[in-house]
A and B are shown apart, each in its own frame.
Chain A
Amino acid sequence: MRVNCTVNGEKRQADDVWPGESLLYVLRERLGLPGSKNACEQGECGSCTVYLDGTPVCSCLVAAGQAEGRDVVTVEGLEFGRVQEAFLEAGAVQCGFCTPGLVVAVHDLLARNDKPSDPDIREALAGNLCRCTGYEKILDAVRLAAR
Chain B
Amino acid sequence: MDFLQPSTWDEALAARAAHPGAVPIAGGTDVMVELNFDRRRPPALLDLTRVTPLTEWGTDGDLLRVGSGVPYRRIIEELGDRLPGLAMAARTVGSPQIRNRGTVGGNLGSASPAGDAHPPLLAAGAEVELASVRGVRRVPVREFFTGPKRSVLAPDELIAAVWVRPSAGAGEQFAKIGTRNAMVIAVCSFALALDPARRTVGTGIGSAAPTPLRATAAEEFLAGALDWDSRGAVPPDVAAEFGRLVASAAAPIDDVRGTAAYRRHALSVLARRTLTWAWGGLP
B27 close to chain A: CB less than 8 A: yes
Q: Which residues of B contact A (CB under 8 A)?
A: 1-3, 5, 25, 27-29, 31-33, 35-37, 41, 44-45, 47, 49, 94-98, 100-101, 181-183
Interface segment out of the listed A5-13, A18-26, A71-79: A18-26
- Which residue of B29, B37, B95, B98 contacts A41 across the interface (Cβ within 8 Å)? B37
> A43 to chain B: which residues have CB within 8 Å?
29, 32-33, 94-95, 97-98
Given contacts A19-B2, A127-B97, contact A63 B37 (CB under 8 A): no
- CA A18 to CA B32, docked complex, whole Å: 13
> CB-CB < 8 A to B49: which residues of A?
66
What distance in Å separates the Cβ of A2 from its nearest Cβ neighbour in chain B? Answer: 11
Q: Name the A residues within 8 Å of B32 (CB-CB).
A: 22, 43, 60-63
If A41-B37, A42-B33, A56-B96 touch, whether A65 touches B3 (CB-CB below 8 Å) is yes
Candidates A18, A22, A57, A63; contact of B97 at CB < 8 Å: A57
Question: Closest approach, in angstroms, between the C-beta of A121 and any C-beta of chain B?
Answer: 12
Is A20's CB under 8 angstroms from B98's CB? no
A66–B96 CB distance below 8 A:
no
Question: Distance (Å) between the CB of A100 and the closest chain B CB?
Answer: 13
Which B residues are CB-close (under 8 A) to A138?
none
Q: Across the interface, do B28 and A62 meet the contact criterion of CB distance under 8 Å? A: yes
Selected contact of A55 from candidates B1, B2, B47, B100, CB within 8 Å: B100
> Which residues in window 37-62 of A have CB below 8 A to B?
41-44, 46, 49, 55-58, 60-62
Q: Which residues of A contact B1 (CB under 8 A)?
A: 18-20
Q: Is A123 an interface residue (CB 8 A)?
A: yes
List 6 A-B residue pairs with CB atoms under 8 Å apart, sorted by A's residue number: A1-B3, A19-B44, A43-B97, A57-B100, A58-B29, A61-B28
Bound: A49/B96 CA distance, A: 11
- Asked if A130 is an interface residue, CB under 8 A from chain B, the answer is no
Tell me, in angstroms, the Cα distance from A123 to B97 when the chains sit together. 11
Rounded to whole angstroms, the CA-CA distance of A41 and B45 in the bound complex is 18
Q: A49-B97, A58-B101, A60-B36 are in contact. List 20 more A-B contacts (CB 8 A).
A: A1-B3, A19-B44, A22-B32, A41-B33, A43-B29, A43-B94, A43-B95, A61-B101, A62-B28, A63-B25, A63-B31, A63-B32, A63-B35, A63-B45, A65-B5, A65-B47, A66-B25, A66-B28, A123-B182, A128-B95
Q: Is B29's CB under 8 angstroms from A61's CB?
A: yes
Assess A44 versus B183: contact at CB under 8 Å? Given A49-B97, A61-B27, A65-B47.
yes
Interface, chain A (partner B; CB < 8 A): 1, 18-20, 22, 41-44, 46, 49, 55-58, 60-63, 65-66, 68, 105, 123-124, 126-128
Task: Give the 4 A-B CB pairs with smallest separation, nearest first.
Answer: A127-B95, A126-B182, A19-B3, A41-B36
Query: How many whole Å from A106's CB to the nearest CB in chain B?
Result: 12
Residues of chain A within 8 A of B5, CB atoms compared: 65, 68
Decide if A56 touches B100 in the complex (CB within 8 Å).
Answer: yes
Which residues of the other chain, A, contact B36 by a CB distance below 8 angstroms? 22, 41-42, 60
Given contacts A20-B41, A66-B47, contact A126 B3 (CB under 8 A): no
Distance of B43 from chain A, by nearest CB (Å): 10
Residues of A within 8 A of B182 (CB): 123, 126-127
A42 to B32, CA, bound (A): 8
- Whole-angstrom distance between the Cβ of A139 and the nearest chain B Cβ: 15
A63, B2: Cα distance in complex, Å? 12
Known A22-B32, A63-B25, A65-B5; judge A58-B97 contact (CB<8 A). Answer: yes
Across the interface, B96 reaches (CB within 8 A) one of A42, A60, A61, A105, namely A105
How far, in angstroms, from A17 to B33 measured CA to CA in the complex? 18
